[in-house]
Structures are given as structure tokens and as C-alpha cells.
Amino acid sequence: MTVKNAFYAQSGGVTAVINASAAGVIETARLHGDRIGKVYAGRNGIIGALTEDLIDTSLESAEDIARLKHTPSGAFGSCRYKLKSLETHREQYERLIEVFKAHDIGYFFYNGGGDSADTCYKVAQLSEKMGYPIQAIHVPKTVDNDLPITDCCPGFGSVAKYVATSIREAGYDVASMAKTSTKVFILEVMGRHAGWITAACGLASEAAGEGPHILLFPEVEFDEAAFLAKVKATVEQYDHCVIGVSEGIKNQQGQFLSETGLKDAFGHAQLGGVAPTIAQLVKDKLGYKYHWAVADYLQRAARHIASKTDVEQAYALGKAAVEMALAGKNSVMPAIRRLSDAPYQWDIAEAPLSQVANVEKFMPRDFITEDGFHITEACRRYLSPLIAGEDYPPFRNGLPDYVRLKNLAVARKLAEFKL
């Protein structure tokens, strides 16, 4: 049998469990030495391939690779860098082939979200369009949970568990303080266009009066008057009001409520700071004392409160990607398929990359209550299994004991390439 090396890289915003997918890829590849030689990781995603900056994962011990399963972040470095089109930037693709040839790479595993699926899709076309035989498999990952076809995305379940846990805890706190102090608490969460993380906050509210009382989704246009009326009614009934808000909510003019003006490499506006904007509004119009929190990276890096389901799926998808490659597949993504809600059952299906790249999945309208301020039972049924189970990392000196790999470079064989 022909033995080819594999390339693996992480792309886009990292998560609490993307390294579990890496462990799934590497451990499975190691079981198939008759087909897969070494797994080379790209240092900082596709940039590592373009610049021939490859990490030799075969130099990492089995123990350290196993520790990836409980380590958040991207162990090999990630990137926000999207390949341009083959038509306008042919030299990028020629370079990739040059690097793949030099290092005998026949498998390409790319671990990312929708933008990264586009990069993986382009690499998958190298076989057909440029005659270089490669099998490109996308390993899904995104806290935003907005990839199509797959029932959910690794990374999301753990963020969901984190935000639901955190807003429940903060809700208990505010309820204690409301008599003489804080009446309104606002937690800003991620989710630029899709409200999945905001929706997950809603799981914390299991009984009448229990926070969060209001959720502000990016899918629902922000209606200031309706919002303020809801806050007032909630405080009058329960003496406090807990609010979960997406960083991406927009006003009736279609503008983000808080916009820094910065844009990331993909051209998306960099957001943050809608919580203080909402807080100020509540204070100005209703006079309530408030507190607000912005979880930012804390939410997606919170491996200490990861969902066991999420960790298992992240690993399983990494494993499945290698198995699909071994089965001769190209241009596909292993996807979670839900078989039943309760008991929760799932397996892994195959999604064509052409249907994944650059497609965003938003919250269905029937997951949001009619008034636009909370989640429905259908949404709870969907979300609930995704946060099930705890999978605590080991602790040392009172803190999570995460691994840092050696990340030793493969010797370069080619001339430098300017990005």
C-alpha cells in the first residue's frame, strides 16, 4: 500500500475542544501506519502550508497527544486567512502543491468553520483542476454552531454549557442583590450573525421567574421600546432582570448596536461592547442599577466546564475524517446526524464540501418565542443534549493542567514564499 503523509491544521477562532479533534485525527492516523506516514501540522493553519512551516507531530508522545483532549485553544496555532480564488491567485495553489509534493502529503485535514471550509474546498479541487492527487477532508469546528448539514458544531456545546452555567450563577447573584442594589444584569455572548450561543443562555431558565428573563438574538431586530417594556415588567414582577445579549444585535436601521469599526481578515466587523450600551439604555430610560459582563474569549476557551457530549463529538469527527480519507473520500466533511433527542443518539454522516463552504445556518424562527425574547420548547429539545455531561480536565496547583506541545518544525526543503 502507498504510504502518504497527512497535513492537519486549525483555522479561525479556536474553541475548548478543537484540540480534541486534533487528537482524533492524530491518534487515528497513528493506528494506520500502513497508509498514513506522519501527520504534519500547519503552524498557524494554512499559513503553515504556504510558508512550509510544518510541525512534526510524530515527535509528540502518545501521552501529550492524549492530553490535547482536555486542552482548549489551537495547539498548533490558528489563523484567519482565506485562500483567494484559483483564477486570481494561482501562485498560492502552485505553492501548496509544491509543499505537498516536497513532503509527500496526500491527505489534507482542515479543522475550522464556514470560511475555513471554503479553503478546504479549494484545496480539494487541486486534484481535479491542477492534477495533484490529494484528499481534502474538513473537520467541522465553530462555537457559532452555524455550519450547515451537521446537526451541531464541535465547540458550540461547550460554549453553550459555559454561558448557561454562567448566566444561571450570575442570575442567582443578582436575585440576592436586587433589594438594595443591582436590578438588571446583562451578559454579552458571542455569535456574530447566528443566535445559537444567546439561545443557550436560555437553558438556565427552567422555572418561572428564573433568569435569563430576556434574550436578544441577532436574528431579531432590536426594538428598543418593546425591550424596555419587557425589562420594566420583569423587574416589577421578579424584582430583577437577567439579560443575555448577542454581540451581533442590530437596530432597526440594520446597524450593529456596538461597532468598533475594526474588521478582521475575512472582512467581518469586530464587535464587542454591546452589553454596556444596553446597560446605559436601561439606566437612562428606566433608572435601574445594573451590572454587565462581556465573556469574550473566556466563553470559547472554558475547557474547565466543557460539555462531555461536545468533547466526544469533537474527537469522533477528527477520527471520522481520517477514516473517510482512508476510504478514498475527497471534498467531504464528517457531520453529526441526530437520531433522537431523548435519549440523545447521534452518528456521523458525510457532507459534501460544496454544500458546506460559505453557508451560514441561523436559528429557525420556531426556536424563538413569538415576542422574540426567549427560546421555545423546540429549541430546548435541540440544545439540551449538547450541554450534557461534564468532562473536567486534570488540575495541578489548583489550576487546569493543559498541555503545551513541543511543536518541533519539519526541516524546510523549499525556498521562502511571500504570503
299 by DSSP, 3-state: which? helix
User: Helix crossing, 224-238 with 274-286: angle to 10°?
Assistant: 70
Q: Please report whether residue 195 would count as binding a copy of itself according to CB under 8 A.
A: no
Q: Check binding of 190 to a copy of itself (CB under 8 A).
A: no
Out of 24, 37, 72, 202, the residue judged to bind a copy of itself by CB under 8 A:
72
> Do residues 156 and 143 lie in contact, with contact meaning Cβ atoms separated by under 8 Å?
yes
Give the residue, chosen from 224, 226, 233, 297, that forms a contact with a copy of itself under the rule CB under 8 A: 297
For residue 191, say whether it is annotated as part of any ligand binding site. yes
Q: Rule CB under 8 A: is residue 376 a binding residue for a copy of itself?
A: no
Nearer to a copy of itself, 264 or 366 (CB): 264
Exposure string over 351-366, b if 16+ CB within 10 A, otherwise e: bebeebbeeebebeee
Catalytic residue among 53, 115, 118, 144: 144
- Output the smallest distance, CB 110 to a copy of itself, in A: 15
Nearer to a copy of itself, 301 or 375 (CB): 301
Question: Strand 135-140 vs strand 105-112: parallel, antiparallel, or unpaired?
Answer: parallel
Which residue, 204 or 321, is less far from a copy of itself as judged by CB? 204
> Which residues partner with 245 through β-bridges?
188, 216
143 is in an annotated binding site: yes
Touching a copy of itself, residues 1-40 (CB under 8 A): 10, 13-14, 16
Query: Quick check: is 391 catalytic?
Result: no
Question: What is the Cα–Cα distance from 156 to 410, expressed in whole angstroms?
Answer: 33
| Nearest distance, CB of residue 389 and a copy of itself, angstroms | 7
Pick the closest to residue 117 from 125, 105, 129, 128 (CA basis): 125
Give percent helix, percent strand, percent coil of the chain, each to the nearest 5: 40, 20, 40
> Is 287 annotated as belonging to a binding site?
no
Q: Which is nearer to a copy of itself, 73 or 135 (CB)?
A: 73
Closest C-alpha to 287, from 367, 231, 225: 231
* Residues in 304-323 that interact with a copy of itself by CB under 8 A: 304-305, 307
Instruction: Give residues with Cβ within 8 angstroms of 327, minimum separation 6.
Output: none
Residues 44-63, interacting with a copy of itself (CB under 8 A) = 44, 47
Q: How far is the CB of 153 from a copy of itself (least distance, A)?
A: 17
Using omega within 30 degrees of 0 as the cis cutoff, is the peptide bond preceding 352 cis?
Answer: no
Task: Write each residue from 197 to 236 as x if it is in contact with a copy of itself (CB under 8 A), else as -, in one continuous string.
Answer: ------xx-x------------------------------
Query: Which three cell numbers mark 44?
Result: 498557524
Each residue 103-142 as x (binds a copy of itself by CB under 8 A) or -, in order, gives ----------------------------------------
Active site residues: 144
